[in-house]
Structure 1
Amino acid sequence: METTQWVALIVIVAFAGVIRGCIGFGFSGLVVAAGTLFLAPSQIVPMVALLEIAASLQMAKGIWAHIAWRPLSFLLLGTAVATPIGITALVLLPAELLRVAISGLILCLSLLLLSGWRYKGATGAFAYGTLGLFSGLCNGAAAVGGLPVAAFLAAANLPIAMMRATLVAFFFATDIIFIGVATHRGLYSSAMLFQSMIMLLPMLAGVIIGARLFKACDETQLKWGVIILLLTLSSVGLVKALSHYLV
Structure 2
Amino acid sequence: MSFDTAHLVAFAAAIVAGFVRGFTGFGSALIFMPLASAAFSPQLAAPVLLVTDFVMGIPLVVSALREVRWRTVLPAAIGAIITTPLGAHALAHGDPLILRWAISAIVLALLLLLVSGWRYHGEPRPVPSLGVGATAGFLGGFGQVSGPPVVAYWISGPDPTAIIRANLLCFFAVISLSSLAAYVWNGLYTGEVVDLFLVLAPGYAIALLIGAKVFRRTAGAAYRPFVYVVIAIAALTSMPLFDGVLR
Question: TM-score of the superposition, structure 2-length normalised?
Answer: 0.77
- Most deviating of 147-156 and 207-216: 147-156
- The aligned residue for residue 124 of structure 2 is 123
Contact 1:96 1:241 in 2 (8 A): yes
Distance in 2 (alpha carbons) for counterparts of 1:165 and 1:53: 15
Distance in 1 (alpha carbons) for counterparts of 2:101 and 2:17: 27
Deviation sequence 1:194-228 (CA, Å, 0-9, x none)? 22122111111111111111011134x2xx42476
Contact 2:38 2:238 in 1 (8 A): no
- The aligned residue for residue 40 of structure 1 is 41
- The aligned residue for residue 110 of structure 2 is 106
1:170 and 2:171 correspond: yes
Number of corresponding residues: 237
Matches within 5 A, 1:17-166: 17-83=18-84, 106-113=110-117, 118-139=119-140, 143-156=144-157, 158-166=159-167
1:207 aligned partner, one-letter code: L
Contact 1:72 1:166 in 2 (8 A): yes
Deviation sequence 1:114-173 (CA, Å, 0-9, x none)? xxx653334232332232233234445665332201222223363221121111111111
Cα distance 1:17–1:142, how it changes in 2: closer, same or farther (>3 A)?
A: closer
- The aligned residue for residue 191 of structure 2 is 190
Contact 2:88 2:182 in 1 (8 A): no
Q: CA deviation at 1:103?
A: 5.3
Contact 1:58 1:204 in 2 (8 A): no
2:223 aligned partner, one-letter code: G
Distance in 1 (alpha carbons) for counterparts of 2:68 and 2:40: 35
Q: Percent identity?
A: 21
Distance in 2 (alpha carbons) for counterparts of 1:157 and 1:226: 20
Q: CA deviation at 1:33?
A: 1.6
What SS does the aligned partner of 1:17 have? helix
1:129 aligned partner, one-letter code: L
- The aligned residue for residue 227 of structure 2 is 229
- The aligned residue for residue 211 of structure 1 is 212
Contact 1:139 1:145 in 2 (8 A): yes
1:58 aligned partner, one-letter code: P
Cα distance 1:61–1:134, how it changes in 2: closer, same or farther (>3 A)?
A: closer
Distance in 1 (alpha carbons) for counterparts of 2:193 and 2:123: 43
Distance in 2 (alpha carbons) for counterparts of 1:89 and 1:40: 14
Distance in 1 (alpha carbons) for counterparts of 2:80 and 2:139: 9
Cα distance 1:72–1:191, how it changes in 2: closer, same or farther (>3 A)?
A: same
Deviation sequence 1:85-122 (CA, Å, 0-9, x none)? 6679999xx97997698657634532342xxx653334
Contact 1:110 1:227 in 2 (8 A): no
1:27 aligned partner, one-letter code: S
Question: TM-score of the superposition, structure 1-length normalised?
Answer: 0.77
Q: CA deviation at 1:34?
A: 1.7
Distance in 2 (alpha carbons) for counterparts of 1:135 and 1:100: 16
Contact 1:100 1:241 in 2 (8 A): yes
